[in-house]
Amino acid sequence: MDILGREMRKKERAMIPEECLEFLKAEEVGRLGLTDGKTLYIVPVNFVLYNGRIYIHSAKEGLKIDLIKHDNRVCFEVDKFYGLKRADAACDFAAMYKSVIVFGRVRFIDSEKWKFEVLTQLMNKYAGKNYPEIDKSETRKTTILEISLDKITGKEAHV
C-alpha cells in the first residue's frame, strides 16, 4: 500500500525493504520534502543511513530548519536513472530506473557525542577513511537531523 492506502501500480516493480535499504546506503544525494501546511519545499541533501535511520547535516538556520520546527513530518527520496529504452513508437519508450521513498519524522540531535558519530559516518561515506580528523568543536556549529523510517517503498524498472 502507498502512503494514501492504495495498492502500488506495477507491483512487479516493487522492491523489498532490504533492497530499499541497500539502495539508500549506496546513493549519494537524497531529496528532503518538507511542508508547513502552506508551502512545499524539496531540497537535495547529502545523507547517511546509519543504525536504521537517515542522518543529514545542516546549518542551524534557514528555511529547512524553520519548516521542520513547524511540522516534523518529512518525505525523503533517492533515485537513479539508468537510461532510456528506445522504441519505434513514442509511447513504447521506457525509462530504466530505481527509486526509494521514505516517510518519517525528523528530530534534531542534541548530543555532541552523537553528532560527532554521525559526522564521522558522513565523512566515511563521502570521503572514505582518508580524511582530516574532525574537530569536535564543529559539532557545536552543525545541526544533525535524524529521520525515522516509518514507511519505505521502492520501485525499479530494468527494461
Which triple of cell numbers denotes residue 135?
574537530
Please give the C-alpha separations between residue 51 and each of 3, 25, 74, in angstroms, as whole numbers: 24, 11, 19
Where is pLDDT greater, at 49 or 37? 49
Determine the average pLDDT of the residues in 55-62: 95
Calpha distance 76→8 (Å, rounded): 18
Higher pLDDT, 73 or 5: 73
The predicted structure's pLDDT at residue 4: 61
- Single pTM value for the model: 0.89
What is the per-residue pLDDT for 19? 95
Q: How confident is the model at residue 8 (pLDDT cuts 50, 70, 90)?
A: low
Sign of CA dihedral 10, 31, 29, 119: negative
Residue pair 76/31 in contact by the 8 Å Cβ criterion: yes
Q: Which residue has the cell 537524497?
A: 30
Please report the domains of the chain, with CATH numbers, ordered by start residue.
11-157 (2.30.110.10)
Tell me the pLDDT tens digit for each residue of 87-144.
888 888 888 889 999 999 999 999 999 999 999 999 999 998 878 788 888 788 899 9
Cβ atoms of residues 53 and 74 within 8 Å: no
Cα(159)–Cα(34) distance, integer angstroms: 33
Q: Is 51 helix (H, G, I), strand (E, B) or coil?
A: coil
Instruction: Look at residue 14 in the predicted model and tell me its pLDDT.
Output: 79
Decide which of 82 and 149 is more confident. Answer: 149
